[in-house]
Amino acid sequence: MTPEDQGLPVHDRTDNTSVSLSFLDQTPASGSIISEKLPDNNSSSQIMISMAVEWAKQYYSTIWTTNQDHLYQELEANTELDITEFDQQRSRIVSQLLQMLNIAGEIAWNKIEALLGSHQVILNLIKKTEIIQDTCHLYRKTIEAYAQYEHPSRLSVLVGRDIIVIRRKYSSVNALFIAILATEFNYVGKILLDWIPLKSQSVFLLYFKALEDYLHAPLAEIYALAATHPPDSEALIAVQQLLSQTTTIAQTVYQRICQSYPDYCSMSGNLRNTMVHYSSVRDIELFQIYLCLCALESSLRPIQEELFPICVILYPQLNVSWKLVQDMLSHILWQLYYNLSSENFRVFLPYIHALTEMFSDQVVY
């Protein structure tokens, strides 16, 4: 299989290192689960991937079974932004949003109940008032930052600690809780934006986008793990290069998906819709960030315990096609190949391979 076969531009690699992509034509054998540390040799790596695929099959069938009783037991900073723009309306907007915040939280939860009605057992495990309070708390601090003319890039300092605490609070129980928290958060943001005058939305969207990005991505975990690696760690060096390019890669992948699916619509709208564009790029970035987490842990745990469950519970409900997800992963792989050094690409290769197989037709349908 060649880059031309994938419809991607041919990249002239100047180094002499051979990077094999032959695994794209391979189908792993069945096995059982679960691996902790990634084995070094190719044979063991194939076994590990096979085990991950088998685990993914079991998880997928478990989530979509008609009897879910057992689940109860197992359960971009824009530096050119003029933040003084539309200053005359700022006070009125802030006052209105703060007054309506709790109502937005209630409306958002009602949307979640309608969206995930088939997973009522899971929803019953979550304290509705608590998740609404936590979501509103983060938005309240963000609105206050906007009122005080803080730049969106400052939210990592102003709200970062709160986000880490809240994210860990839910992820420590079950990855599905993170999915529901993120959905509540997304709905509240959209509701608030609808209440903002159209000409002010472009400024406010950057605040909400920054906040949502921090909530979705396990960046705190990545930074903590990175601190445990020596400076010459292969995983650390690879992660540093990828993190510097996640947005660029995500934008390229998004454009290629739009070309392949010009008429595609999810529940949120057409791929060219502004909010769908934003959320799509964020999701593509998220997949890359989870690859970084896997590399730093030398484990598939982040994908198995967080990313895969989140996608399985949300994507079908949002009418996101598994074929689209599979094509997205293929494009991510090739963009990693083109944008990373051969040494750094090899660090991520086992994880993107496993991720591709876990979202294959033999698992999701």
Q: Report residue 299's pLDDT band, with 50, 70 and 90 as the boundaries.
A: very high
For the CA atoms of 65, 66, 69, 74, the dihedral, rounded to the nearest 10 degrees, stands at 20
Q: What is the pLDDT of residues 266-291, one digit of tens each?
A: 887 888 887 788 889 989 999 999 99
Token readout for 239 is 């992660």
Task: Give the least confident one: 61-70, 214-223, 274-283, 288-297.
Answer: 61-70
The pLDDT value recorded for residue 283 is: 92
Nearest to 285 by CA among 260, 321, 248: 248
Nearest to 93 by CA among 185, 201, 209, 210: 201
Q: What percent of the chain has pLDDT over 90?
A: 36
Average pLDDT over residues 130-155: 92
Average pLDDT over residues 257-264: 92
Q: Report residue 31's pLDDT band, with 50, 70 and 90 as the boundaries.
A: very low
Q: What percent of the chain has pLDDT over 70?
A: 75
Q: Report residue 49's pLDDT band, with 50, 70 and 90 as the boundaries.
A: low
Average pLDDT over residues 83-88: 57
Q: Report residue 136's pLDDT band, with 50, 70 and 90 as the boundaries.
A: very high
The pLDDT value recorded for residue 2 is: 41
Q: Report residue 85's pLDDT band, with 50, 70 and 90 as the boundaries.
A: low
CA distances to 56, 58, 296, 299, 346 from 35, in Å: 13, 15, 15, 7, 19
Q: How many residues does the chain have?
A: 365
Q: Which residue has the higher pLDDT, 303 or 58?
A: 303
Q: Report residue 174's pLDDT band, with 50, 70 and 90 as the boundaries.
A: confident
Region for 269 from its dihedrals, namely left if φ exceeds 0, alpha if ψ lies in -120 to 50, beta otherwise:
left
| CATH for 35-64+219-358 (3.30.413.10, 3.30.70.100, 1.10.490.20, 3.30.530.20) | 1.10.490.20
Q: How many whole angstroms separate alpha carbon 332 and alpha carbon 53?
A: 19
Q: How many whole angstroms separate alpha carbon 193 and alpha carbon 139?
A: 12
Q: How many whole angstroms separate alpha carbon 316 and alpha carbon 110?
A: 18
CA distances to 106, 185, 199, 201 from 93, in Å: 20, 19, 12, 11
Q: Report residue 22's pLDDT band, with 50, 70 and 90 as the boundaries.
A: very low
Q: Is the pLDDT of residue 16 over 70?
A: no
CA distances to 45, 151, 234, 253 from 284, in Å: 25, 25, 23, 8
Contact predicate 268/276, CB 8 Å: yes
Token readout for 322 is 């598994």
The pLDDT value recorded for residue 198 is: 80
Q: Is the pLDDT of residue 33 over 50?
A: no
Round the average pLDDT of the chain to a whole number and report it.
Answer: 78
The pLDDT value recorded for residue 63 is: 44
Q: Is the pLDDT of residue 130 over 50?
A: yes
Q: How many whole angstroms separate alpha carbon 195 and alpha carbon 359?
A: 38
User: What pTM value is reported for the model?
Assistant: 0.71
Q: How many whole angstroms separate alpha carbon 68 and alpha carbon 62?
A: 8
Q: Is the pLDDT of residue 24 over 70?
A: no
Report the chain's C-alpha Rg in angstroms.
Answer: 21
Q: Is the pLDDT of residue 124 over 70?
A: yes
Contact predicate 272/302, CB 8 Å: no
Nearest to 300 by CA among 362, 242, 350: 350
Q: Which residue has the higher pLDDT, 230 or 178?
A: 230
Q: Is the pLDDT of residue 219 over 60?
A: yes
Q: Report residue 118's pLDDT band, with 50, 70 and 90 as the boundaries.
A: low
Q: Is the pLDDT of residue 45 over 60?
A: no
Q: What is the pLDDT of residues 100-117, one digit of tens each?
A: 999 999 999 999 888 877
Token readout for 142 is 């963000």
Q: Is the pLDDT of residue 338 over 60?
A: yes
Start-end of CATH 1.10.490.20 domains in the chain: 35-64+219-358
Contact predicate 320/271, CB 8 Å: no
